[in-house]
Amino acid sequence: PTAAHTHAFQAEVRQLLHLVTHSLYSNRDIFLRELISNASDACDKLRFQAIDDPALMEGDADLRIRIAVDPEQRTLTISDNGIGMSLEDAVEHLGTIAKSGTREFMQKLGDKQKPDAALIGQFGVGFYSGFMVADRITVESRKAGMAEGEGVRWVSDGTGEFTVETIARAKRGTDVILHLRADADDTPHEDKIDKYLRVWTLKDLIGKYSDHISLPIEMRKERWDAEQSKYVATDEWEQINSAAALWTRSKSDITEEQYLEFYKQLSGDGNPPLRWTHNRVEGRSEYTQLLYIPAKAPMDLWDRQQKAGVKLYVKRVFITDDAESLMPTYLRFVRGVIDSADLPLNVSREMLQESRDVRAIREGSVKRVLSMLEDMAGSDDQAERDKYAAFWGEFGAVLKEGFGEDFANRERLAKLLRAVSTHSESDTPNVSLADYVSRMKEGQKAIYYITAETPKIARSSPQLEIFRKKGIEVLLLTDRVDEWMLGFLHEFDGKPLQSVARGAVDLSEVKGAEDEAEKKDEAAQSEDHKALIERFKAALGERVQDVRISERLVDSPACLVATDDGMSTHLARLLKQAGR
Ligand code: ADP
Ligand code: MG
C-alpha cells in the first residue's frame, strides 16, 4: 500500500455534511436505503458494461448486495460486487456533488444551518447520509477489470477532509463500512443508533425501503447458540428482499405505499406524486411502463439539458437514465421506468433515436401521461381539479413547450392549457380555452389575448379598454414561453387566437351595448383627421410604421400596437432583455 493522501471536501459537500450531521435527525433510517440504492446502481452499471465486455464479470456474474454487522466493532457494512471505484473515482464521486440540482439546492440554502425538513426531503442526500449514523466511514473498493493491486481505501470522519490510499483487494466491487456513532446515555430508546446493529431492525428497514430492489439483498443467517444464549451469525447468507423489480409485479400485488416508496427512491423527491400509471403494453411493441407525475417541480426543471426522468430497462436490465428519446422534452418532469421486451440489450444511443420500437414506446407513454392529466383536469371531483390546478402552477409553462414540440398532440395540449383572464380578478391561471369559448359574445369571432410580463401589467394595458367596455373576455398570458407557444397555437375549436395588441381589431360585429352613433368606421374617421395624422407621422418619423385612428381606446389617448405580421411589443422587450 502507498501512503494515504488527504483531500479537502468540496465546499458544498462540507455544507451538506454539516446539515446531515446536525439537523437531519428526523429520519435517520433513510441512510440504509441510500447506500443500498448506490450498491444497486453499481451492479446495474456493471451489468450494462459487461454486455460489451463480458470479462468485467471476472467469472462472478451473480450480482448481489450484502449487509453485515459486527456488534463488537460497532460496524455496519454494505457490500456489493458491482462496478466498483478506482482511486480517482473515489476522490471524485465521494468528494464532490455532481448532481446539478443538489448543488443548486445547497447554494440556495446559503448559510442557513437549519432549513426546514420539507425542503431537505426534496432531494436525496445520497452517500453522505451515512454520516447521520456514523462518525467514520471507510470505503474499500476495486473497479471491475482493474488489477488486484489497484484497490482503494477511502476514509473520512465527515467533517472537512477524507483520505485515500491504494490497497490490494481481491474482490471486485465496494464495501461501505459505517463505524456507528456511540449513543449518548439519554438518547430515547427508539432513536438509538445501536438499533442498526440489530439484525431484525435491518431486515425490517430493508423490507420497508428496499424490497423492490431487483437484486438479492442478503444477510448472514443466524443460529441460536445455547451456551451464549443468544443468536450468532453463521457463514451462510440468506436473501431478505423479494428481489422482483416493482414494475414487473402485477398491480394487484403492489400496495399504494410501495408505489409511493418506489417513487421516492426513483426521483429523490420527498413529496408524494400526484398520480401514476402502471401498464403492461402488448402489441407491436411490448413493454411495461410505470410513470409518475410529481407534485413539485425539481430545482433543475428549467435546465433542458437535464437527464430525462424516465429510466430505460431492457428485460429488467438497466440500460440508461439518459434516454431523451423516451419522453419528449416538454414532459421532462415525468418520472418513471420503462422496461422493453423487444429492444436489444446492447442498444446504442443512435439506435435509441431511430428505433421504431422506441418511437412506439414514446408515443404510448406520451398518451398515458396526457390521459392522466386529462383525467385530473376534467374530473367531476373538485379535489382532482384542484390537483390539476396545482400541477399547472408547477409545470404549465413546461407543458406549453409541447405546442412546438409535439404537433400530433397539439389539440390535446390546447385542452389542457390554463390561463389568467379578465373574466375574474384572480391571477391564478384557471381558465381553459373551452371556458373562454363558452363565454364568447354573440358575433365574437376570435379568442383574444394579451401577452405581458405580469397579469397586473396586462390588466392595466390601454389595449384592453375597448374589450372591457364591450364585456369581451381577454386571456392574459404572462409566461415567457407564451410568445413562442403562440407561434404554434393559432386556433382552438375553430376560433382563431388573436392578440389585442396587434394590427386592427374589428369588434364591429360583436353584439354589445355600444352606442351606434359612436360607430363610425375607421377609414372615415381617418379621413376626418388626416391633417392630425400627418403631423403625428412627421413628428415620429422612422420610429413608427403607421399612425391610425383606432376604436380600441376608450380612456387613453394613444397606444402602441404591433403589425399583424410583426413582432409583438412584449416579444421585442423580451429579446431586448436577452441582448438581441
Ligand atoms: P448518486 O447515487 O445520486 O449519484 P450518491 O451521493 O449516492 O449520489 O453517490 C455518489 C456517487 O458515488 C455515485 O454516483 C457513484 O459514482 C459513487 N458510488 C457510491 N456508492 C457506490 C458503490 N457502492 N459502488 C460504486 N460507486 C459508488
Ligand atoms: Mg445514490
Which cell is 512 given?
A: 354589445
Q: Can you tell me the distance from the alpha carbon of 141 to that of 6, in angstroms, rounded to the nearest whole number?
A: 17
> From the CA of 322, how far away is ligand 1's center (Å)?
17
Closest ligand 1 atom to Cα of 37 = 2
Query: 515 in helix, strand or coil?
Result: coil
- Ligand 1 pocket: which of 10, 93, 152, 269 to mutate (most atoms within 8 A of CB): 93
Residue nearest ligand 1's atom 5 by CA: 126
| Among 162, 139, 22, 13, residue whose Cα is nearest residue 85 | 139
Residue 79 in contact with ligand 1 by CB distance below 6 A: no
Predicted local distance difference test score (pLDDT) of residue 579: 58
Q: State the CB neighbour count (10 A cutoff) for residue 258.
A: 15
Residue 85 in contact with ligand 1 by CB distance below 6 A: yes
Residue nearest ligand 1's atom 14 by CA: 93
> From the CA of 87, how far away is ligand 1's center (Å)?
14
Q: Residue 456: is its pLDDT beyond 70?
A: yes
Question: Do residues 281 and 289 make contact, with C-beta atoms less than 8 angstroms apart?
Answer: yes
Lowest mean pLDDT among 137-151, 211-225, 317-331: 317-331
Residue nearest ligand 1's atom 13 by CA: 93
pLDDT in tens, 141-172: 999 999 999 999 999 999 999 999 999 999 99
Predicted local distance difference test score (pLDDT) of residue 495: 96
Residue nearest ligand 1's atom 10 by CA: 93
Average pLDDT (515-533) is 67
Q: pLDDT confidence of 556, banded at 50, 70, 90?
A: confident
Q: Rounded to 10 degrees, what is the CA torsion of 556, 562, 567, 568?
A: 30
Predicted local distance difference test score (pLDDT) of residue 118: 47
Q: Can you tell me the distance from the alpha carbon of 440 to that of 432, in angstroms, rounded to the nearest whole number?
A: 13
Chain Cα centroid distance, residue 102: 12
> From the CA of 351, how far away is ligand 2's center (Å)?
28
pLDDT in tens, 492-506: 999 999 999 876 677
Torsional sign, CA 315, 321, 322, 326: positive
> From the CA of 32, how far away is ligand 2's center (Å)?
11
- 566 forms beta bridges with none
Q: Residue 538: is its pLDDT beyond 50?
A: yes
Q: Can you tell me the distance from the alpha carbon of 325 to that of 454, in angstroms, rounded to the nearest whole number?
A: 34
Predicted local distance difference test score (pLDDT) of residue 574: 67
Q: Residue 565: is its pLDDT beyond 80?
A: no
pLDDT in tens, 61-70: 999 999 999 9
Q: Can you tell me the distance from the alpha carbon of 388 to that of 394, in angstroms, rounded to the nearest whole number?
A: 10
Q: In one letter, which amino acid is 507?
A: L
- Ligand 1 pocket: which of 38, 43, 77, 79 to mutate (most atoms within 8 A of CB): 38
Predicted local distance difference test score (pLDDT) of residue 82: 97
Predicted local distance difference test score (pLDDT) of residue 86: 97
**Ligand with smallest separation from the Cα of 129:** 1
Q: Residue 75: is its pLDDT beyond 80?
A: yes
**Which residues are CB-neighbours of 151 under 8 A, at least 6 positions away?**
140, 141, 142, 166, 167, 168, 169
Q: Residue 444: is its pLDDT beyond 80?
A: yes
Chain Cα centroid distance, residue 572: 31
> From the CA of 137, how far away is ligand 1's center (Å)?
14
Q: What percent of the chain is predicted at pLDDT more than 90? A: 56
Identify the DSSP state of 285.
S
Predicted local distance difference test score (pLDDT) of residue 487: 93
**Ligand with smallest separation from the Cα of 174:** 1
| Among 91, 86, 125, 121, residue whose Cα is nearest residue 10 | 91
Lowest mean pLDDT among 21-30, 74-83, 307-316: 21-30
* Mean confidence (pLDDT) of the chain: 86
Q: Residue 441: is its pLDDT beyond 80?
A: yes
Predicted local distance difference test score (pLDDT) of residue 318: 79
Q: Rounded to 10 degrees, what is the CA torsion of 205, 211, 215, 218?
A: 40
pLDDT in tens, 384-395: 999 999 999 999
Average pLDDT (364-380) is 96
Q: Can you tell me the distance from the alpha carbon of 549 to that of 541, in angstroms, rounded to the nearest whole number?
A: 17
Q: pLDDT confidence of 121, banded at 50, 70, 90?
A: very low
**Which residues are CB-neighbours of 352 under 8 A, at least 6 positions away?**
312, 320, 323, 325, 326, 358
Question: Do residues 150 and 171 make contact, with C-beta atoms less than 8 angstroms apart?
Answer: no
Q: Residue 78: is its pLDDT beyond 60?
A: yes
Q: State the CB neighbour count (10 A cutoff) for residue 386.
A: 13
Q: State the CB neighbour count (10 A cutoff) for residue 360.
A: 18
> From the CA of 94, how far away is ligand 1's center (Å)?
7
Q: Residue 564: is its pLDDT beyond 60?
A: yes
**Which residues are CB-neighbours of 565 under 8 A, at least 6 positions away?**
none
Give 114 or 338, the one with higher predicted confidence: 338
Predicted local distance difference test score (pLDDT) of residue 396: 96
Q: pLDDT confidence of 371, banded at 50, 70, 90?
A: very high
Closest ligand 1 atom to Cα of 98 = 4
| Among 446, 469, 495, 484, residue whose Cα is nearest residue 554 | 469
Q: Rounded to 10 degrees, what is the CA torsion of 255, 257, 262, 265?
A: -170
Closest ligand 1 atom to Cα of 45 = 25
Average pLDDT (420-447) is 94
Question: Do residues 427 and 453 make contact, with C-beta atoms less than 8 angstroms apart?
Answer: no
